[in-house]
Copies of this chain bind each other. A is one copy, B any other.
Amino acid sequence: MPASPPHDPTLLAGGTGGPRALRPLVDTVFTALTDGAAARCGPLPGGGPDGVARRVADHGTPVLPEQGHGAHDALRELVYVLAEGAADPADPHCAAHLHCPPLAVATAADLAASALNPSMDSWDQAPAASALEERVAAGIGALVHPSGRDPDALVTTGGTESNLIGVLLAREVHGRRLRLICGADAHHSAHRAAWLLGLDTPLVLPTPRGVLDPTTVDEALAGLDALECPSPRPPTPAVVFATAGTTDTGAIDPLGALADVVAAHRPTRAVTLHVDAAYGGPLLFSDRHRTRLAGVERADTVTLDLHKLGWQPVAAGLLTVPDRTALAPLAHRAEYLNADDDTEAGLPDLLGRSLRTTRRPDILKIAVTLRALGRRGLGELVDAVCAAAHQLADLIEAEPLLRLRARPGISTVLFRPQNATDAQVAAVRRGLLHEGHAVLGRARAVDPATGHPALWLKVTLLNPHTQESDLHGLLKLVLDQHQHQHRHQRQERDPRR
């Protein structure tokens, strides 16, 4: 790499001089990103955790030198090693998790957020950013709750925080006796929210078909007080935690029917409906798939996560409500940020819009993406990954050595080599990871053929540019890895072969 001209490492990113200071550094970043990706030459680095840790140590020692090494050196070394050692979701063979490849336009917008560094806890740290958030949050709230009285959304760090706030709002309305009711397939953050908030452990309902059964929820609500003796008065309040797009299979709970059940219990019990649509929420952008979320608009709180099916760099979480007055329990005072006389004089009070204080304007990249692509453009990306999942399912069904678990929920496909054990399935995944050939996920889910849980390879397709040839290649990698391990095991059993 050619040496870059010396750069005063104390230059700032803001002001009229910021872009001048940033430009040569960004060039160094681009070179390091390009070189790192080329050196990796695959979806992730080979060699497993030890190899990666060694290279990070080589490039990043010491962590805190006495004398600085300069801006270009630091960016060159550390961005290079991060890129060379990335699991890059822009590679179609990196398809394990709800871990999306971000759009270039969203990433470029995020650079502006870093450079200007607005902090969303008071107007005088983020005048335009807070005005933008107000407008865009209302727009997203209206997308989810089109007939809501005054829809709004909070910007969060992701589904985990959105779920936490959803449960917190229910706790603040209904009190600390609140019981969370969720299905066995709900995200682990439901449990973590209850733990953090000091609530009883959630009541977990079985989901033999992968989704919450409204009848089971109805019975659970009806029987909730029998869990305590004597039966409490007033009845135990509850929050029903539904899911639109489970992490393991992309399954969508029957939201309309669940909303009916909750509504039916409301005359006799304080109960709210939270929908975790961290994965499935963006189906609302799609003309083809929107109806699959019918009923979501009736939820009291809805989790969205545009760093999943929204192609944003992390973080881009949201929590929508049909009426912003529902957010009142988050109101909070700090003289230095929202003194009464300042609020009366017209300075907006932002502190009740988050559990954080200092807060990055993640709304900017979201706003830029919505405007750049429009609803249709985003809907087409959603359609593309859903179509790719069906294409992959077709290929698996046509391949006698593989077995598809079920047609895909959203863009998630579970499958396994025929006649493999669970240990072999896990080993195939780890083998591909260690060799740097593919990043696949894993999920334990009922095998429809046996009725018993089994371990599956999981492909979560979030890259809208994935081609059929990529999918072919991915299946070939799995088959080769499985065969290779199988042969290796036989050799271990019979060393003469």
Contacts and interface: CB of A to CB of B under 8 A. Distances in A.
Nearest to A432: B124
A67 B15 CA distance: 33
Interface string A330-352: 00111110010110011110000
A325 to B, nearest CB: 20
Interface in A299-353: 305, 307, 311, 313-315, 332-336, 339, 341-342, 345-348
A115 interface: yes
Contacts of A433: 124, 347
Contacts of A294: none
Contacts of A443: 335-336
A23 interface: yes
Interface centre among A125, A138, A196, by most chain B C-beta atoms within 10 angstroms, is A125
Contacts of A135: 56-57, 60, 63
Number of identical protomers: 2
A128 B47 CA distance: 12
Given A99-B125, A125-B87, A374-B64, A52 B131 contact: yes
Given A65-B371, A102-B117, 8 more contacts: A9-B377, A29-B112, A32-B112, A44-B124, A74-B105, A86-B126, A124-B433, A347-B430
A336 B247 contact: yes
Contacts of A311: 12
A52 B128 CA distance: 6
Interface string A33-52: 11001100000110011101
Nearest to A345: B430
Given A65-B374, A372-B69, A464 B10 contact: yes
A14 interface: yes
A458 B355 CA distance: 25
